[in-house]
Chain A
Amino acid sequence: MSTQIEPRKVETELVGTPAPNYLTNGFGLKSWLLTIDHKRIAILYLVSITAMFFLGGLFALLIRLELLTPQGDLMEAEMYNRMFTMHGIVMIFFFLIPSVPAVLGNFLVPMMIGARDLAFPRINLLSWYIFVIGAIITLSAVILGGVDTGWTFYAPFSTTYSNSNVALAAVGVFITGFSSILTGLNFVVTIHKMRAPGMTWFRLPLFIWSHYATSLIMILGTPVLAIAIVLVAMDRLFRFGIFDPALGGDPLLFQHLFWYYSHPAVYIMILPSMGVVSELVTCFSRKRIFGYTFVAFSSLAIAVYGFLVWGHHMFTSGQSIYAGLLFSVLSFLVAIPSAIKVFNWSATMYKGSISYETPMLYAFGFIGLFTIGGLTGLFLAATSVDVHVHDTYFVVAHFHYIMVGGAIMGFLGGLHFWWPKITGRLFPEAWGKFAVLMVFAGFNLTFFPQFVLGYLGMPRRYHAYPDEYQVLNVMSTAGASILGVGYLIPMVYFLWSLRYGALAGPNPWGAKGLEWTTPSPPPTENFDETPIVTEEAYAYSKEEPEIVGGKQSTRASLR
């Protein structure tokens, strides 16, 4: 199936003048803003989501500073409400959802499966432009006075009672949703139709499996959020009264439509990072993943089950008791695939040869913090405990453990792991390790006290609180400042490494995977000729695999 492309002459690599690669293939603004090369689009995304991450982080720091004192005297209530709303919107829609898929996914999905580019390169660029337009519109809502409905836009507050620019923010989020849809569409078609010869489904790296599952969620979930946002905008701009209780409108309909997308959205945020961690754990243990098919199918299971559980966000909202119990039992089931993944990662390290480079430290951090995040999810799935802890800081701590402890740790681990491939430069290892420890310490100091605050009953989104909660809030704010600095350090040494970093060879970590067979940074069309895949993923050793834990796995052909 692969036509022969005449092999390019590779000039001898003179020191200082790198072989022609995708970064040197055209300079100037036009070559970046009109590129259809998936690698350059990945870098465009990297720049834009980093900017959004630090903006969201700024809002977070302001919130934490406000909560230092019980009376909440740093800013007025309106300002605080706008702060946490924008923190939510910017962090979720403009950082967490695009981060791993749009940066690492865009860069690596074609390379890992041996393709020259995504199926629809121009739609890929369109997806970035839609992201930027959505960001501009949403941020213009901030400049014009902000939006104070929380990132959840609950009706009837968002439709009738809020007097902030909800419609503008709604349009911004609506547009950004399509950027995520188009990315998902691109990945699904690419993974189905453009795998290199020999790259069967069970030889795919687990990074690809997790991005395939993420793309399913992006495609099947995002449209329902889009329509929910359209209905809010209609209600607000034209008084259609769809969610107007006086007419008989049902605010719970909005919550159903909203959470139908927004719960699977948390799996959009965590699944790609799980893919990254699978790559990191296998590379730095120099071993094949333990139970490949189980880890691969658990990604799909999370994507599918993820759509059956959204009601656990509405246990106390007046949703029927019987529907609540149904969502509760399904929410317990959705925790099982995550548990399988964590156990398999740990088992991969068994009898491995583990090295502690920075990406692996991020993987350790991910496994630890994601486990705590996942297990506290069981508290929220149990209806009777959720009645007490719903909408309190217990929930805030839970989802930050998964988002910040899981998704961002995974993103940073992946960024460090593939940075040499993306830029051809190595980052300073010592600073990298220091940053991980700082992030880990700052994170735990910020969010663990919030579990205690939550069970004590401090509600979310409060800018003033009773005095007895102050000590825990002060600890959390202290942690937030350490976390903030911890995130700045990688930004600094990544930029530094662009100029002064050591030149990275094609495979600085000795990892397996088609992307490591190309020079770094890779040429524009990735491979001189389409690679033929003969072995399964992460085949670090050629010896016969021994059997672990007795009975031979039924999938003997797993080899």
Chain B
Amino acid sequence: MSEHVVPLRIYYTVFAALLFLTGLTVFVAFFDLGTLNTIVALTIAVIKATLVVLFFMHVWYSSKLTWVFVGAGIFWFLILIAFLFGDVLTRDWLPTAVGWEGN
């Protein structure tokens, strides 16, 4: 993107970090943390993805416009998730009649 040439050592440190995080996510998967498992797995994946985006894809060194485009893509995906789950999670909440006590 930019004319900026990224020094090689950054690539290698990012590569090492990605390998470590992959190992970590597999390691953590073998513990039963209940719903926490998913959260941890997703957080690690987000960290790995951010590393790839910022350094391998040079977004760290590029114009604000690129940041806006990347941010917009992620934000619109979150809109889909938010409103889809807004419906799915509350689909069973019916306004029960006052004084409901079984049929």
Give the CA-CA distance A311 to B89 in the complex, in Å.
15
- Interface magnitude class on chain B: 10 to 19
Interface mask (B78-96 → A, CB under 8 Å = 1, otherwise 0):
0110011011111111110
Inter-subunit contact A318/B76 (CB<8 Å): no
A320 B90 Cβ-Cβ under 8 A: yes
- Are B87 and A323 in contact (CB-based, < 8 A)? yes
User: What residues of B have a CB within 8 angstroms of the CB of A260 in the complex?
Assistant: 80
Size category of the A interface is: 20 to 34
Interchain CB contact (< 8 A) of B87 among A192, A216, A252, A307: A252
Interface residues of A in 322-343 (CB under 8 A from B): 322-323, 326-327
> Across the interface, which residues of A come within 8 angstroms of B65, CB to CB?
192
Which of B73, B76, B87, B89 is close to A256, meaning CB atoms less than 8 Å apart?
A: B87
Determine if B72 is an interface residue (Cβ-Cβ < 8 Å): yes
Q: How far, in angstroms, from A192 to B65 measured CA to CA in the complex?
A: 9
Q: Which of A208-264 contact B (CB under 8 A)?
A: 216, 220, 224, 250, 252-253, 256-257, 260
Number of A-B contacts (CB under 8 A): 49
The reply on A475 being an interface residue by CB < 8 A is no
Contact B93 A321 (CB under 8 A): yes
Q: Check A320/B80 contact, CB under 8 A, given A192-B65, A220-B72.
A: no
Report Cα–Cα, A473/B79, bound state, in Å.
41
**Docked complex Cα distance between A224 and B88 (Å):** 18
Which A residues touch B87, using CB under 8 A? 252, 256, 311, 314, 319-320, 323
| Interface contact A224-B91, CB-CB below 8 Å | no
Least distance between B50 CB and chain A CB atoms (Å): 21
**What's the nearest-Cβ distance from chain A to residue B79, in Å?**
6
Q: Which residues of A contact B (CB under 8 A)?
A: 192, 216, 220, 224, 250, 252-253, 256-257, 260, 307-308, 310-311, 314, 318-323, 326-327
17 A-B pairs in the complex with CB atoms less than 8 angstroms apart: A220-B72, A220-B76, A256-B80, A256-B84, A260-B80, A308-B79, A310-B83, A311-B83, A311-B87, A318-B91, A319-B87, A320-B90, A321-B94, A323-B83, A323-B90, A326-B83, A326-B86
Seen from chain B, the residues whose Cβ lies within 8 Å of a Cβ on chain A are 65, 72-73, 76, 79-80, 83-84, 86-95
Give 7 A-B pairs besides A256-B80, A319-B91, A322-B90 with Cβ atoms closer than 8 angstroms: A220-B73, A256-B87, A311-B83, A320-B86, A320-B90, A321-B95, A323-B87
